[in-house]
């Protein structure tokens, strides 16, 4: 049986690089589930940089919404499956449904699925609630959804890391 590893941290904290190292330590083949969509030139460049860093050791699967289904389909075919990132997945779900309830239901479904996975699953997520309270409603809803999702995923994970300034700290 695989294990579940959650890697969290702020923007540009080194969490994706740490997650890649943790996944690579599991052996090959490696699967990378990308939840981002290239909606503009800056995001397309960011996606390209991540792909270049990973190289051809990774099979990339792009899926912005149906994370549990894609994980189930890829399970057992990879030593590790890296999901980058949960925060963008939550964004995609919230924008699709315009309601945090279905997004949180998807997170709960994922937490039920993780213990039975054969492949190790490494989840990357952002800590978004450490700053000031956002002034607009959608940002507050997203902050709360993200915080609740991170708590659920951390509880389901076998290992949890936080990265700050490129330095990892194991929490669990």
Indicate the pairing of strand 167-170 with strand 159-164.
antiparallel
Spatial neighbors of 30 by CB under 8 A, at least 6 apart, are: 23, 24, 57, 58, 59, 78, 79, 80, 82
Give the C-alpha distances (Å, rounded to integers) separating 84 from 36, 88, 100, 108, 167: 8, 8, 20, 18, 18
Choosing from 15, 50, 54, 78, the catalytic residue is: 50
Residue 92: strand, helix, or coil: helix
Phi, psi of 61 (to 5 degrees): -120, 120
Cα 93 to chain centroid distance, Å, stands at: 13
Residue 52: strand, helix, or coil: helix
Using the structure block, give the residue that is written with the tokens 């999901």: 83
- β-bridge partners, 159: 5
Closest Cα partner for 145 from 164, 126, 166?
A: 126
Q: Is 50 a catalytic residue?
A: yes
What residues are annotated to the active site? 50
């Amino acid at each position: 049986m695989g294990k579940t590893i959650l890697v969290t941290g702020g923007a540009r904290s080194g969490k994706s690089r740490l997650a890649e190292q943790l996944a690579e330590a599991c052996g090959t083949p490696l699967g990378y589930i990308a939840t981002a969509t290239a909606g503009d030139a800056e995001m397309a460049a960011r996606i390209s940089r991540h792909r270049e860093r990973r190289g051809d050791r990774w099979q990339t699967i792009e899926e912005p919404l149906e994370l549990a289904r894609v994980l189930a389909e890829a399970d057992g075919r990879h030593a590790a499956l890296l999901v980058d990132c949960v925060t963008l997945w939550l964004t995609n779900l919230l924008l699709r449904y315009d309601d945090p309830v279905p997004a949180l239901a998807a997170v709960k479904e994922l937490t039920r699925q993780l213990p039975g996975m054969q492949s190790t699953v490494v989840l990357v997520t952002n800590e978004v609630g450490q700053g000031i309270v956002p002034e607009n409603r959608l940002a507050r809803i997203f902050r709360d959804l993200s915080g609740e999702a991170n708590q659920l995923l951390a509880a389901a994970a076998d290992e949890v890391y936080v990265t700050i300034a490129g330095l990892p700290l194991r929490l669990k």
